[in-house]
Structure 1
Amino acid sequence: MALAEGLLALALLIGMQFAISWSSTRMPWLRRVVTGEPRLLLRDGAMLDDALRDARVTREEVHAAVRSAGIGALGEVAAVVLETDGSFSVIAGQPGAALSSLDGVK
């Protein structure tokens, strides 16, 4: 009996995952709910404290992302983005530069 209940629970989880994945590829509003949006955490070397708080990310995590990108100073960073998959994108460059890759990032 316990094995059947476990298999039923596993099948239900797999079915729900499939249904959400299938639906989110066809309904943009559901995709926004399920995956969220990328968040701009640092711009032109300055931390965006409200964005950090909303994303529940610490300054230390941003510093670690910058270090792992091989950059030694925040002033050398044009932007840090928290992506929808939870990873950080560090964009090196001159502060104040126009960055088309940030279109649509809050």
Structure 2
Amino acid sequence: MLVSVYRTVLIYFVVLLVVRLMGKREIGQLSPFDFVVAIIVAELAAIPMESTAFPLWKGIIPLVTLGVLEVVLSYLALHSPFLRRLLDGEPQVVIRNGRIVKEELRRARYNLNDLLAQLREKGIFNVEDVEFGVLETSGRLSVLPKSQKRPVTPEDLGLSTGYEGLPTILVMDGQVLRENLRVVGLDETWLKERLAAYGLKPEQVFLVTLGTDGRLFINEG
């Protein structure tokens, strides 16, 4: 039993390493090549975990080989448009000026029901409202609504807006993030004084963030 546990744990970390090498992409964003690699990895990982008689190294070597192949081809694809097209394919314009491009649907083997479903998911129920619809290599649909159908923005109204950046996390799970404090030019003393005004200590709060407008958000634990 201990042998099975050991083999499973080892294969788990090897597979985790291979998946990490594939980059920070969701399953729906994987290229065909990445998807094939993921399937093969799953199959190869199952063999040494199911059969203790199967030599462990025979399961690890193919996994590592696939990981190296993934890294090498991904690197080469960064500098080769041809290789990118070969591995990932190309985006296809399936809606142009409010009209469905049937030829592109056929090329992508993408049916009308799928197209309409993805439009509805984006809150668009009329194809005529779409300027361009692009079927990405991941199979997702990117949509540019016609200008008359887009929400009004402050720029459309000639209004100026202030800068909105990401809030800085200062405390998480009761732990002070000193590096984040340093980045915004503050220190732990300042933070403790601000929290003390609310009768709190850092270890008593779940989350503290500092907005770009200087406001402190405090979520008690």
**TM-score class normalised by the smaller sequence:** 0.7 to 0.9
Aligned to 2:120: 67
TM-score in terms of structure 1 length: 0.80
Report the alpha carbon displacement of residue 40 of structure 1 after superposing the two structures with TM: 0.6
Match of 1:19 among 55, 58, 72: 72
Deviations 1:49-86 (A, max 9, x none): 11101111111111011111111211111121111222
1:49 corresponds to which of 102, 105, 130: 102
Asked if the contact 1:77/1:94 (under 8 Å) is kept, the reply is: no
Unaligned runs of at least 5 residues, structure 2: 1-53, 149-221
Q: Which residue of 2 aligns with 1:58?
A: 111
Identity %: 32
SS of equivalent to 2:60: helix
Q: Does residue 76 of structure 1 match 2:99?
A: no
1:4-25 deviation digits (Å, cap 9, x = unpaired): 1110110111011011001111
Q: CA shift at 1:94, angstroms? A: 5.4
Q: TM-score, normalised by structure 2?
A: 0.40
Q: Distance in 1 between matches of 2:61 and 2:114?
A: 39
Distance in 1 (alpha carbons) for counterparts of 2:116 and 2:97:
14
Tell me which structure has the larger Cα radius of gyration: 2
Which runs of 5 or more structure 1 residues have no equivalent in the other structure?
A: 96-106
- Give the aligned partner of residue 88 of structure 1: 141
3-state SS, counterpart of residue 71 of structure 1: coil
Q: Deviations over 1:23-58 (max 9, x none)?
A: 111222212221221101112222211110111111
Number of aligned residue pairs: 95
Counterpart of 1:25, as a letter, is L
C-alpha separation in 2, matches of 1:64 and 1:90: 13
Q: Is the 8 A contact 1:81 1:88 kept in 2?
A: yes
Question: Could you tell me how far apart the structure 2 residues matched to 1:62 and 1:79 are?
Answer: 13
RMSD (Å) for aligned C-alpha atoms: 1.7
Measure the CA separation in 1 of the matches of 2:115 and 2:72: 34
**1:6 matched to 2:59:** yes
For 2:120, the aligned partner's letter is R
